[in-house]
Structure 1
Amino acid sequence: MVTVTVELRNVEGTQAAMGWAGSHTVVVDRPEGKAGGQGLGFNGAQLLALALGGCFCNDLRYAADEMGVSLGKIAISVILELEGKPIIAKSAVMKVACHGQDGTSAEQVVERAKAICMVSNSLRRGVAVSIEPAA
């Protein structure tokens, strides 16, 4: 089993948080004026949509490499629908445009990426989440 750990801490002087994994960082905040947010970073819904689309972008590259295909343009849009109280993600639609280096369709690469995409497969199957006190 592979384990991934990320850390988050508040950013002093703000109500935002800084998250990191290794040497990569991201700022997490609420929109300006919402619960003390200053709009300094992404909110949770945006991060979820970015995780979905970002993982798929990476998996397109993994699939292409595995298949010996050179990719050209990749464009992905993720539409995440939220509803309820408490608000939850109800659905996500990912629109994918992916072409080979020569401009031809990369449909087989997209199909392979669908099969191996960790985030979309995890969400589709339901991932167990627990929230526990820190030691």
Structure 2
Amino acid sequence: MVSISVNLANIAGTEAALGWAGAHTLVADRPAGKAGGKGLGFNGGELLALAIGGCFANDLRYVAHAKGVALGKIELGVTLDLEGEPLIVTGARMAVTCETTDGSDPRPVIEEAKADSTVSNSIIRGFPVTIEAG
């Protein structure tokens, strides 16, 4: 089994959190004026949408490299639908624009990336989340 771990800690003087994995960092916060948030970073829903889109963008590159296809412009838009109390994600939609540098049809790359996408496939299948007080 492979594992990925990240860490988060509060940022002194704010109510935001700094998240890191290795040398990479990001800030998580609520929108300005919401529960002490100052809008210093992404909220959880935005991070989830970025995880879906970011993973897929990487998967496009993995598939293209394996197929020997050079990709040019890639654009992704991810929309999450949320409902209920507590608010939960009830669906996600991703629009993909992808071009090959030789003008060939990018759809086979997109379709294979769909089949291989770790984040999207994990969400679709569902997985347990445990939360333990430390």
Normalized against structure 2, the TM-score is what? 0.98
Task: Identify the residue that residue 31 of structure 2 maps to in structure 1.
Answer: 31
Aligned residue identity for 2:98: C
What are the within-5 Å matches in structure 2 for residues 104-119 of structure 1? Answer: 104-119=104-119
Matched, 1:42 2:45: no
8 Å Cα contact 1:53-1:77 kept in structure 2: yes
Which SS does the other structure have where 1:81 is aligned? strand
Could you list the per-position Cα deviations for residues 1-44 of structure 1 after superposition, in whole angstroms to 9, with x for gaps in the alignment?
10011000000000000000000000000000000000000000
Runs ≥4 in structure 1, deviation > 3 angstroms? none
What are the within-5 Å matches in structure 2 for residues 71-90 of structure 1? Answer: 71-90=71-90
Count of residue correspondences: 134
CA distance in 2, matches of 1:104, 1:45: 35
RMSD over aligned CA atoms reads: 0.7
Task: Identify the residue that residue 128 of structure 2 maps to in structure 1.
Answer: 128
Aligned residue identity for 2:30: R
Aligned sequence identity (%)? 58
Unaligned runs of 5+ in 2: none
Which SS does the other structure have where 2:9 is aligned? strand
Unaligned runs of 5+ in 1: none
Could you list the per-position Cα deviations for residues 65-107 of structure 1 after superposition, in whole angstroms to 9, with x for gaps in the alignment?
1111000110100010111110000100000011101333210
Which SS does the other structure have where 2:90 is aligned? strand
